[in-house]
C-alpha cells in the first residue's frame, strides 16, 4: 500500500498493511521546535532547519527527511507555502538552538526575557510568552466585558485573537490576492509529487471561538445561563465558517483526503458541558459543517477535541465526525480499551498512541516502547487507527524516547 492508501484504508475500517503514522500533519499532532531541534542534534541531522511554522504553539515543521526516516504517512498542505529562504528569519530559542520564524512574526522581547505581541497601535497587548516558555498565551479577549449589539465588527474582533492573527501556513497568506487559486495549484503539485495522504485545516471552531472572544470563564457561564447571546454569536460564526468551508471544498475538496475541524470540548475530568447542552447548542451546527463537507467534497471529516469527550462522542459521531484526535487517554472515561470497544466500529482514532506527558517525557526508552506496543495492539485491530502521540510532542521529551517510539511502531508493523 502507498501511504495514502494506508490512511484511507484505516479510515474505512479496513486492516491496512501497516499502522499509518502521523507527525506534524496538524497543529495538534506535531512536535515543539525545542524537542525537534534536540531530536535533530541527537540524529546528527542538525544541518536541517528548525522552521517554527506555528508560532503560537512554537511547533516545528518536520523536514521531508525526518518524515521519511520515521515512515510518516500524512502531511499538511500548508507546507507548500513559506517555501523560500526569504520567507523566514533566524531566532534563538530558549535552549540556545537556532530556529526560524516566518518573516511576518515580530514579538517584542522584554527585559526579563519574556515576549509580547501588540496590536497595530503598538499599545494593546495581544499575547505573552514567559521567559523559558514554549507557548504564547492569549491576553486580549475582545468581548470580555459583554456581547456586542450586532456582529458587523466580528471579523475585526476575531483578527485580534492570537489564533487568527498569527495563523500558521497556509492561512497566513489567506488575505493575499489569488490565494485560493494558488492554494489549489500548490496542493495539486503536492498530490502529484507524494503518495502521502493530504490534510487540510478548516478550523470552524465554535465553542473555542466563544472562549477566545469572551474568555473561558465568561463563556462557560454563558452556555449555562445566556443561550440567547450564545446562539447569536454561534450563528454569526457559522456564517463565516460556511463561507470559508465553501472555498475549502471548492478549491480542495477533490484533492485532499481529510478536512480537519477543531473544538476542544473536554477537560481531564469530563466534558465542558453535558450531552443535552451539546445537542442544543453545538451538535446542529457541527452537523451543518460535516454535511457540507460530505456534500461538496470527497474528504473525510476530522475533529480535534482535547480532554474527556466520550460522553459526547455518540452525538459527535452522529453529527458526522469520522476521525477523533488527540484521543486523550489519561482523561476520564478515555481509556484505550473502553474507547475501542465502545466506538471502534464507528470512528477512527487519530492519536492515543502514547502518553506525551508522563511516559514519553519521563519514562525510559524501554517503557516508551512497552506502552506504544500495548496501544498498537488495542487500537489497530480492524483499522480505525492512525498512530500519533496524545497531542504535540513537548519540549521536555528526550530525543531517545522519540526514536524509541518510532522503533516500536516499526517493530509492530514488521510483524503484520
Q: Are 250 and 183 in contact (CB under 8 A)?
A: no
pLDDT in tens for each of the 416 residues of the chain?
999 999 999 999 999 999 999 999 999 999 999 999 999 999 999 999 999 999 999 999 999 999 999 999 999 999 999 999 999 999 999 899 999 999 999 999 999 999 999 999 999 999 999 998 889 999 999 999 999 999 999 999 999 999 999 999 999 999 999 999 999 999 999 999 999 999 999 999 999 999 999 999 999 999 999 999 999 999 999 999 999 999 999 999 999 999 999 999 999 999 999 999 999 999 999 999 999 999 999 999 999 999 999 999 999 999 999 999 999 999 999 999 999 999 999 999 999 999 999 999 999 999 999 999 999 999 999 999 999 999 999 999 999 999 999 999 999 999 87
Query: What is the distance between the alpha carbons of residues 154 and 119, in angstroms, rounded to a whole number?
Result: 16
Domains along the chain with CATH numbers: 3-49+62-83+141-414 (3.20.20.210)
Query: What is the distance between the alpha carbons of residues 43 and 413, in angstroms, rounded to a whole number?
Result: 22
Query: What is the distance between the alpha carbons of residues 383 and 381, in angstroms, rounded to a whole number?
Result: 6
So what's the pLDDT on residue 373? 98
Pairing of strands 98-102, 88-92: antiparallel
So what's the pLDDT on residue 416? 72
CA-based end-to-end distance of the chain: 13
Pairing of strands 197-203, 258-262: parallel
Query: What is the distance between the alpha carbons of residues 356 and 204, in angstroms, rounded to a whole number?
Result: 26
So what's the pLDDT on residue 293? 98
Q: Are 101 and 89 in contact (CB under 8 A)?
A: yes
Query: What is the distance between the alpha carbons of residues 25 and 5, in angstroms, rounded to a whole number?
Result: 16
Q: Is the dihedral of CA 218, 222, 223, 229 positive or negative?
A: negative
Amino acid at each position: 500500500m502507498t501511504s495514502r492508501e494506508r490512511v484511507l484504508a484505516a479510515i474505512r475500517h479496513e486492516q491496512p498493511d501497516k499502522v499509518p503514522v502521523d507527525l506534524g500533519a496538524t497543529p495538534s499532532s506535531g512536535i515543539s521546535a525545542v524537542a525537534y531541534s534536540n531530536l535533530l542534534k541527537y540524529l546528527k541531522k542538525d544541518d536541517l532547519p528548525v522552521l517554527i511554522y506555528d508560532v503560537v504553539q512554537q511547533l516545528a515543521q518536520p523536514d521531508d527527511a525526518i518524515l521519511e526516516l520515521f515512515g510518516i504517512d500524512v502531511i499538511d498542505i500548508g507546507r507548500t507555502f513559506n517555501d523560500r529562504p526569504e520567507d523566514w528569519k533566524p531566532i534563538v530559542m530558549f535552549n540556545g538552538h537556532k530556529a526560524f520564524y516566518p518573516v511576518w512574526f515580530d514579538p517584542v522581547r522584554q527585559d526579563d526575557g519574556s515576549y509580547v505581541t501588540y496590536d497595530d497601535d503598538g499599545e494593546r497587548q495581544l499575547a505573552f510568552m514567559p521567559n523559558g516558555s514554549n507557548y504564547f498565551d492569549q491576553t486580549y479577549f475582545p468581548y470580555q466585558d459583554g456581547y456586542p449589539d450586532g456582529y458587523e465588527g466580528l471579523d475585526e474582533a476575531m483578527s485580534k485573537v492570537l489564533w487568527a492573527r498569527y495563523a500558521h501556513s497556509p492561512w497566513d497568506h489567506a488575505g493575499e490576492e489569488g490565494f485560493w487559486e494558488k492554494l489549489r495549484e500548490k496542493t495539486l503539485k503536492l498530490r502529484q509529487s507524494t503518495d502521502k495522504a493530504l490534510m487540510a485545516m478548516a478550523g470552524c471552531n465554535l465553542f473555542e471561538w466563544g472562549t477566545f472572544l469572551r474568555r473561558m470563564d465568561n463563556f462557560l457561564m454563558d452556555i449555562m445561563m445566556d443561550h440567547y447571546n450564545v446562539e447569536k454569536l454561534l450563528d454569526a460564526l457559522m456564517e463565516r465558517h460556511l463561507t470559508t468551508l465553501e472555498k475549502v471544498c471548492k478549491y480542495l475538496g477533490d484533492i485532499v483526503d481529510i478536512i480537519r475541524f477543531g473544538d476542544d470540548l473536554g477537560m481531564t475530568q469530563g466534558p465542558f458541558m453535558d450531552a443535552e447542552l451539546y445537542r442544543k447548542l453545538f451538535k446542529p451546527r457541527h452537523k451543518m459543517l460535516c454535511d457540507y463537507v460530505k456534500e461538496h467534497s470527497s474528504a473525510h471529516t476530522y475533529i480535534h477535541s482535547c480532554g474527556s469527550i466520550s460522553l459526547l462522542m455518540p452525538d459527535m459521531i452522529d453529527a458526522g465526525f469520522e476521525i477523533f484526535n488527540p484521543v486523550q487517554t489519561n482523561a476520564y472515561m478515555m481509556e484505550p480499551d473502553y474507547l475501542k470497544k465502545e466506538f471502534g466500529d464507528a470512528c477512527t482514532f487519530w492519536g492515543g498512541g502514547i502518553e506525551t506527558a508522563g511516559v514519553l517525557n519521563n519514562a525510559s526508552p524501554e517503557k516508551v516502547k512497552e506502552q506504544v506496543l500495548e496501544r498498537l495492539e488495542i487500537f489497530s485491530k480492524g483499522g480505525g487507527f492512525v498512530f500519533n502521540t496524545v497531542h504535540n510532542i513537548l519540549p521536555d521529551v528526550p530525543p531517545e524516547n522519540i526514536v524509541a517510539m518510532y522503533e516500536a511502531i516499526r517493530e509492530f508493523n514488521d510483524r503484520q
